[in-house]
Structure 1
Amino acid sequence: MTAVAIQGTLDEIGMPLVSTTFVVVDLETTGGAPSGSEITEIGAVKVRGGEVVGEFSTLVRPGSSIPPFIAVLTGITDLMVAGAPRITSALPSFLEFAHGSVLVAHNAPFDVGFLKAACELTGARWPPFHVLDTARLARRVLSRDEARDCKLSTLARLFRSGTTPNHRALADARATVDVLHGLLERLGNVGVHTVEELALWQSKVTVAQRQKRHLSEQLPHAPGVYLFTAPDGEVLYVGKSKDLRTRVRTYFTASETRPRMTEMVSIATGVTGIECATPLEAEVRELRLIAERKPRYNRRSRFPERGSWLKLTVEAFPRLSLVRQVRDDDATYLGPFGSRRLAEAAMTAVHEAVPIRQCTQRLSMKPASSACILADMGRCGAPCTGAESPADYAVHVDAVRQAFTGDPGPLVRRLLERISLLAEQQRYEEAAVRRDRLSTLVRSAARGQRMAALAAVPQLVAARRRELGGWELHVIRYGRLAAAEVSPPGADPRPYVDALVATAETVRPAPEPLPAATAEEAECVLRWLETPGTRLVRVDGVWALPWPSAAGYAAVVEARDEDHYAAQPFADRRPLRPLR
């Protein structure tokens, strides 16, 4: 098979590396974190086209003494900085020097973190720099055989820098310039020629991937959904973007860290784009297409029908049942839960708070001869034996129903009392388990009540102003997105609203508390509606949560999340997206 040469389009050019101005910066500080530490020296080198076009260097006088071990490491003493400018003078000078450039640093989060902190301290505005990290690039470019680590001193030796790093800002910045040029030379060999490609670059782009970049050329610069397809027409992957062409092009101009995406691109022979009026419509269409086509390379949202629900049955003595489907049977439901495990945790929390029966047989009014062990433990009132009357048992049922559809306060308070008692007895692990169950119950109740409130509204029309002018307009019926449109800048949006309502999809309500869409779609719509700046244009019916509701107990969920976060003090919590 003969390889086909594909010429890139003009909008793929971006910012060519050869004509981009880089400012490579390095700092010396009194400590390892901006909180409690200060900058003592700033060094920077400005380069363009491989040539040095300027340098910046200044000591900075901190507000406190330099620790002895820092003075030994850097050679910077209190005497040296006694006549140096304060950061209030040094920082504006550096920002002026770096204006309009791409900022580069080795271990950029450290240097950028100190510079941003200095901006906050001095009241200066941090410019929207594009930031590159040579340490991060080196980890993706170099193998272990070439460099045992990605320290600046190691890389400077590898790329034969003319400057030896010595923990002084300007010298280290000069060494970083040589490292940057060495890495850019390596990346140029694999087709990275612009700043945009450099920021997205993760690993080597295969020839097969690059030859397929023409598949994105027919796509528009508009929000929508894209579908990668196999030779037999099978949909391999569905994604969404605010800019279809730009997003799809990244699969071919920059490589993926996800191995399955590289495999998917190698199989795909076509990309189909579905243009959408608004980003919300694109998000909803993506969910619907994934649920319908179930692409093998999508991991999420493929099986919305597999959710689990807790059902409060309709019988003489109701009980909780774990089910897969909501029926129009006058029962009360809680969910959907993402897994059976979560549903069982919520069920256990209810059973711990309310003595509702846990047996599965259908009870009649005729008393049984004996009760189960739960009655002896005080976990059930034994309605099966007649020890608890239907009226007395109905009190427990009403408490559960109210927790699902309104105020879970009585259940929450009972569970918190038991958790506190366990903690006082130093039974911390048992308390933590019960706390997690309570959090699951409250979180699912709050989520279900939000969706049920939206699902009860026959029609809701909302709008949000666009950055480019005009309005994003959406019609939501029973929790389902029924129509989306954009009104032009400067035009009266009311005629567009009228037309959109007239042509919107006809939607029939689903059994309560279900929305007329998947739970995931309803949550997407809710997030958009709750975003600041969204305006309600029309509401047919009432859109409101019950009061009080499960949302009033969000502190229970937040406390649980904070405890879990604190339990992993050394977890890697660095953001995975590039610094900006």
Structure 2
Amino acid sequence: MTTTAGPGARWEAQRSLDELGRPLRDLTFCVVDLETTGGSAQAGSMITEIGAVKVRGGEVLGEFQTLVNPHTEIPAFIAVLTGITNSMVSDAPPIESALPAFLEFAAGCVLVAHNAPFDVGFLRHFAERQQRPWPTFDVVDTAVLARRVVTRDEAPNHKLSSLARVFRSGTTPDHRALSDARATVDVLHGLMERVGCLGVHTLEELQTFSTRVSPAQRRKRHLADGLPHAPGVYLFEDDAERVLYVGTSRDVRRRVRSYFTASETRSRMGEMVRLASRVRAIECATPLEAEVRELRLIAQHKPSYNRRSRHPEKVTFLKLTREAWPRLSLVKRVLDDDADYLGPFSSRAAAEQCLAALHDTFPVRQCSDRLGRAPSRTACVLAEMGRCLSPCDGSVDDHTYAAVVRQLRETLLQRPDDVVEVVNARMASLAADERYEEAGVHRDRLASFVRAAARTQRLTSLTHCREVVAIRRDDVATPGGSSSGTATRWAVHVVRYGRLAAAGVIPPGADAHAYVDLLRAGAETVPPPPATPGPVPAATAEETERVLRWLEAPGVRLVDVDGEWTCPVAGAGRHLDLLAARRLEPAAFTASTSSLG
């Protein structure tokens, strides 16, 4: 075994700079190559030789080479290919000794190999077999990188021997580990020189390099300079300061940098980056605050490259009217008219499906005319089909009709079982007759209703609370070499009528009660919604749902609740498992419908 030592790697000192991008010129690379008895460690193949070269800044710092006794016969064709015979390895150290020596040599380096899954896979396999922890190496595969920058006109393939000729390596690969590692060093340097001309200067950019990312896109990575390493919202803007795109992240700077690498594969985002001339960031105390600010900014600026949340005002509600003969109606907004509302629905189609499920269950009138207390009109076709109580021609008295409306109101607000049972029975009947397509239509109607009822009940429960104060412990990772670990912090949110009014993190060593009191005192003043039982949030429904998702997360502790934050025990949430079965095979349809009651 021969080992040449060199200056120590600076990897541990640089680890805290990972999110900034580690310059290639400052990193120490360990280029490794193995010779083995076969192609798969899992299939029993063994290592016969390890060769490695340590380089930094173009300078060779040291070399490592050892034969390895595989304790098994080397196949004849492998011996011919590599020149390694059984007699050569008979006195060589076993892998139990060779592997620790190599890991000590490579400590703190970035591993490089040509076809890295093969070499690194063998090394990891034997480390696991020895119950030896595998170091958290970054890995660069020269074969993958070469396929992105070396064309077929330059080389017939991307084998090491072909690439060594392209880059005029001083060593000819000969299937011996150290020779092949030396040739790989020359190939690595040649590849790095090429991608460097394309603006790739850090390890992160090298690992995510792709020809899909244009040089112009890479040159804009400076737009991330100066952005905070913290939760927040970022806004891409063009030369005229128009907002092109709004996004959010727990680490704004790292997320924005990713838009200039191959990790961003969306073609629309590539187009957006080409138009962007600056990135503005708004730092937030907590990830939830960042999510809420993102929604508000998207609604405010309506950026052309955001697909979702641009038009929170374009929603639909289902309304149970307050009139002599109430009916169900689709409306665009909730009024302070003492009516009952279900929603909001993100699309009119979903609202129409829900409306159909309710009309299948409750024979209230479907006409839009205003009717007096004693109407005298001709019955419509729905009345003749038995799908309407027909108050228009006096077929039903007001007490009977009012009883059906009360049952419908209870279904909307508290207990959806009537709709679930009726539609469920209809689906089962259709499935028994093998009319699966029609059964699927009713299934979709029921799913829309259950989803809307559950959403309404959850939103209403929170939007009628004057204030909810909650905290949650978050253990966040702290970067930095040997001092890396986790830090404990307590996130605090003040929610008023379903709107996030304040967010903060209790400073270390501070009086928690005093901090919460101060946060509440400075929170946004939110006016109460109209005194109706419907979902009238002080924010958009999407914002309130984000807040609810955080409040319902494990580990959240309620500090104070001003109001009643409750949901019906027999509410629609019990039936949400229906939504898991969106597409059912005919044979499973009957069984699935029987479980929804």
TM-score, normalized by the shorter chain, greater than 0.5: yes
User: Is the 8 Å Cα contact of residues 471 and 493 (structure 1) preserved in structure 2?
Assistant: no
Q: Select 1:19's aligned residue among 2, 5, 28.
A: 28
Tell me the residue number matched to 1:306. 314
Whichever residue aligns with residue 549 of structure 1, its letter is G
In the TM superposition, 1:174-189 aligns within 5 A as 187-189=195-197
User: CA shift at 1:479, angstroms?
Assistant: 0.6
Structure 1 length-normalised TM: 0.74
Whether the 8 Å contact between 2:33 and 2:119 is mirrored in structure 1 is: no
**CA–CA separation in structure 1 for the residues paired with 2:148 and 2:311:** 35
Can you list the C-alpha shifts for 1:384-443, whole angstroms capped at 9, x where unaligned?
Answer: 222222222233323332232222111111111110111100111111221122112111
Report if aligned partners of 1:461, 1:476 keep a CA contact under 8 Å in 2: yes
Partners of 2:128 and 2:392 in 1: CA distance: 68
Distance in 1 of aligned mates of 2:69 and 2:321? 75
Does 1:540 find its partner at 2:554? no
Against the structure 1 CA distance between its residues 402 and 135, is the aligned structure 2 distance closer, same or farther, given a 3 Å change threshold?
farther
- 1:129 CA drift (Å): 6.7
Give, in angstroms, the shift of residue 502 of structure 1.
0.7
Q: Would you say 1:484 and 2:503 are equivalent positions? A: yes
**SS in structure 1 at match of 2:313:** helix
Per the alignment, do residues 355 and 247 of structure 1 end up closer, same or farther by CA in structure 2, a change over 3 Å counting? same
Aligned to 1:554: 576
Partner of 2:229: 221
Q: What is residue 233 of structure 1 aligned with on the other side?
A: 241
CA distance in 2, matches of 1:337, 1:193: 48
- Give the direction of change, closer, same or farther, for the CA distance of 1:421–1:253 in structure 2 (3 Å limit): closer
The 3-state SS of whatever aligns with 1:190 is: coil
Shift of residue 539 of structure 1?
1.0
**1:525 and 2:547 aligned:** yes
Asked if 2 retains the 8 angstrom alpha-carbon contact of 1:291 and 1:301, the reply is yes
The amino acid that maps onto 2:508 is P
Output the CA distance in 1 between the equivalents of 2:184 and 2:160.
7
CA contact (8 A) 1:24 1:103 kept: no
Deviation at 1:292, TM superposition (A): 0.8
The more displaced of 359-368 and 410-419 is 359-368
> Is the CA contact (8 Å cut-off) linking 1:24 and 1:177 kept in structure 2?
no
Describe how 1:394-405 pairs up with structure 2 within 5 A: 394-405=402-413
14-23 or 376-385, larger mean C-alpha shift: 14-23
512, 516, 539: which is aligned to 1:493?
512
In the alignment, the residues of structure 2 paired with residue 458 and residue 367 of structure 1 have an alpha-carbon distance, to the nearest angstrom, of: 43
Contact 2:317 2:343 in 1 (8 A): yes
Cα distance in 2 for residues equivalent to 1:375 and 1:176: 83
Kindly state the Cα deviation for residue 291 of structure 1 after the two structures are TM-superposed. 0.5
Does the C-alpha gap of structure 1 residues 545 and 232 become closer, same or farther in structure 2, counting only changes over 3 Å? same
Instruction: Report deviation, 1:478.
Output: 0.6
SS at match of 1:445: helix
**Residues of 1 paired with 2:456 and 2:44: CA distance?**
54
- Which residue in the other structure is 2:415 paired with? 407
Question: Match of 1:537, as an amino acid?
Answer: V
Task: Identify if the C-alpha distance between structure 1 residues 343 and 112 changes in structure 2 by more than 3 Å, giving closer, same or farther.
Answer: farther
**Is the Cα–Cα contact under 8 Å of residues 213 and 261 in structure 2 kept in the other structure?**
yes
- The aligned amino acid for 1:513 is P
- Contact kept, 8 Å, 1:140 with 1:203, in 2: the verdict is yes
- Alignment partners' CA distance in 2, 1:248 and 1:199: 17
Change (3 A) 1:192 1:510: same
Larger Rg: 2
Given candidates 401, 404, 409, the residue that maps to 1:393 is: 401
CA contact (8 A) 2:497 2:537 kept: yes
How far apart, CA to CA, are the structure 1 residues paired with 2:299 and 2:566?
29
Aligned AA (1:504): A
Q: Does the CA-based 8 Å contact 2:115-2:144 persist in structure 1?
A: yes
Contact 1:335-1:444 at 8 Å conserved across structures: yes
Q: In structure 2, how many angstroms separate the alpha carbons of the residues matched to 1:40 and 1:426?
A: 54
In 1, the alpha carbon distance for the partners of 2:490 and 2:126 equals 39
Which residue does 1:272 correspond to in 2? 280
Q: Is the 8 A contact 1:238 1:290 kept in 2?
A: yes
The 1:547/1:350 distance shift into structure 2, 3 A limit, reads same
Query: What is the aligned-residue RMSD (CA, Å)?
Result: 4.7
| Structure 1 match to 2:75 | none
* Cα separation, 2, equivalents of 1:198 and 1:48: 18
Partners of 1:297 and 1:225 in 2: CA distance = 15
Return the match for 1:331 from 324, 339, 351.
Answer: 339
Task: Tell me the residue number matched to 1:509.
Answer: 528
Q: The residue matched to 1:560 in structure 2 has which SS?
A: coil
Answering whether residue 493 of structure 2 is matched by residue 474 of structure 1, we say yes
SS in 2 for 1:496: helix
Deviation at 1:503, TM superposition (A): 0.8
Alpha carbons of structure 1 residues 225 and 389: separation in structure 2 relative to 1, 3 Å? same
Identity of aligned residues (%): 51
Instruction: Decide whether the 8 Å contact of 2:21 with 2:203 is kept in 1.
Output: no
Is the 1:255–1:262 Cα contact (8 Å) retained in structure 2?
Answer: no
Q: Answer yes or no: is the 8 Å Cα contact 2:228–2:283 preserved in 1.
A: yes
Question: Given the superposition, is the C-alpha separation of residues 139 and 302 from structure 1 closer, same or farther in structure 2, using an over 3 Å criterion?
Answer: farther
Report the AA paired with residue 365 of structure 2.
R
Could you give the per-residue CA deviations for residues 501-525 of structure 1, whole angstroms, max 9, x where no partner exists? 1111110122431211011111111
Structure 1 362/532 Cα, relative in aligned 2: closer, same or farther at 3 Å? Answer: same
Shift in Å, 1:267 = 2.5
CA 1:198–1:439: 2 relative to 1, 3 Å: farther
Determine the C-alpha separation between the residues in 2 that align with 1:119 and 1:363: 82
Q: Offset of 1:494 from its aligned partner? A: 1.1
Q: Taking structure 1 as reference, are residues 296 and 384 closer, same or farther at Cα in structure 2, changes over 3 Å only?
A: same
For the structure 1 residues 122 and 485, does the alpha-carbon distance in structure 2 shift closer, same or farther, using more than 3 Å as the test?
same
Deviation at 1:131, TM superposition (A): 7.1
Encode CA deviations 1:202-251: one digit per residue, 9 max, x unaligned: 44544433443333323222222222222222222222222222222333
Q: TM-score by structure 2 length?
A: 0.72
Given the superposition, is the C-alpha separation of residues 560 and 124 from structure 1 closer, same or farther in structure 2, using an over 3 Å criterion?
farther
Cα contact 2:199–2:219 (8 A) shared by 1: no
Using the alignment, how far apart are the partners of 1:489 and 1:548 within structure 2? 43
- Residues 1:434 and 2:453 are matched in the alignment: no
Q: Cα deviations across residues 306-365 of structure 1 (Å, max 9, x unaligned)?
A: 011111111122222111111111111111111111111111122222222222212223
| TM-aligned CA deviation for residue 554 of structure 1 | 1.6
Question: Which residue of structure 1 lines up, in the alignment, with residue 359 of structure 2?
Answer: 351
> Deviation at 1:476?
0.5
Match of 1:286 in 2: 294
